[in-house]
Amino acid sequence: MKRAGHAERLIASVMIVSLLAGCATPVPFREGNPPLPEREPATTVEELVTVYDPLEGLNREIYAFNYEFDRLVFLPVVGVYETVLAQPLRDRIHDFLGNLRDIVTFANLVLQARPVRALQTAFRIGVNTGLGFFGIVDIASAVGMRRESEDFGQTLGYWGVTDGPYLVLPVLGPANLRDTTGYVVDSLALDPLGLLANLHTGLAPYAWARTSVNAVDTRANTPFRYYGTGSPFEYDYVRLLYTRKRELDIIR
């Protein structure tokens, strides 16, 4: 009897969440999608494949370094992670980290002055934290709630900051000056654990542990492999597509 009671309550809560999510999902208006910033469309093949990349030589060296780092360190570590922890457990870690990441998204939506999406994101954080055992089960996605993904690079872009020179960051990969700045701001100021670790040095080990697990989790969930396309022009294609995709991320 007791067990049935638990189960009923769980089902009831899930139903309530689904109903709420059902109400929340269709956004009545596309909130604050800024127009694509005016970029002169390319007219020649050369213009099309060219991205502002004043540090290209260094960037290509770092791209090559990342390949070696991936091969010799990162992917083997991911392999151990995947061997030691079973998929369902890794999923719980992934969901937990995703819930923490949603806080950064929320902060950036506030900074972009987009209240509807910010509230939706706050609601999804609440659902996952409350009903999803402090975020280890992403119930919100399971019931079809939309997940936004915003970082401070996008926030800067939203307010009109252009991307600046293209950069390849060690370990982290493709970026540009705007997104690198955004990454630093996200990690130090907008991420709650990062912020707390800045204020209390005693928390620094937790922040580092989270960053490390986050890195492994992200790599495990990123199918990209350096030089995996087989094309000798992969650097150029990645540079072009990264730049264009970030434009879309900003207006989306």
Partner 1 sequence: MAADAAITGAERRSARAVLAPLVLLALMLVAACHPPPPPPDPSLAQPPEGPFEYPWEDPIVATVVGTPPGLRAALPENVPVDIRLLPLLPGRDVPEVFFYQRGLIYTLSAQPGPAPLVLIIPGTGAGPTSRLVDVLTRIFYAGGYHVIAVPSPTFPNFAVTASTTGVPGRVEEDARDLQRSLREAVDDVRTRIDIKDNDISLVGYSLGGWHAAFVGWLDETAAAQPIGFRRVLLINPPVNLYSSSRILDGFIDKIPGGISGLPMFFEEVFKTLSSLYTSSTSPSDLTSDTLYQAYLKLRPSREVLAALIGLVFRLSSTDLTFTADVIGDIGVLVPPEKQLRISTSLTPYLTHGLYYGFTDYLRNLLYPYYKRAEPSLTVEQLVAEADLKRIGDYLAANPRYRLITNADEIINTPAELAFLEKTFAGRETIFPRGGHCGNFQHTHVVAAMLDALAEERR
Binding mask 150-189 for partner 1 (x = CB under 8 A): ----------------------------------------
Write down the least CB distance from residue 36 to partner 1, Å: 8
Q: Tell me: does residue 92 bind partner 1 (CB under 8 A).
A: yes
Q: Tell me: does residue 201 bind partner 1 (CB under 8 A).
A: no
Decide whether 159 or 233 has the Cβ nearer to partner 1: 233
Binding mask 44-63 for partner 1 (x = CB under 8 A): xxxxxxx-----xxx-xx--
Q: Tell me: does residue 2 bind partner 1 (CB under 8 A).
A: yes
Q: Tell me: does residue 147 bind partner 1 (CB under 8 A).
A: yes
Write down the least CB distance from residue 85 to partner 1, Å: 8
Q: Tell me: does residue 74 bind partner 1 (CB under 8 A).
A: no
- Residue 100's closest CA among 54, 132, 75, 76? 132
Q: Tell me: does residue 67 bind partner 1 (CB under 8 A).
A: yes
Decide whether 12 or 189 has the Cβ nearer to partner 1: 12
Name which position in 25, 162, 212, 222 contacts partner 1 (CB under 8 A): 25
For β-strands 166-169 and 173-176, DSSP reports them as antiparallel
Q: Where does this chain bind partner 1 (CB under 8 A)?
A: 2, 25, 33, 36, 41-50, 56-58, 60-61, 64, 67, 85-89, 92, 133, 146-149, 226-228, 230-233, 235-236, 244, 248, 251-252
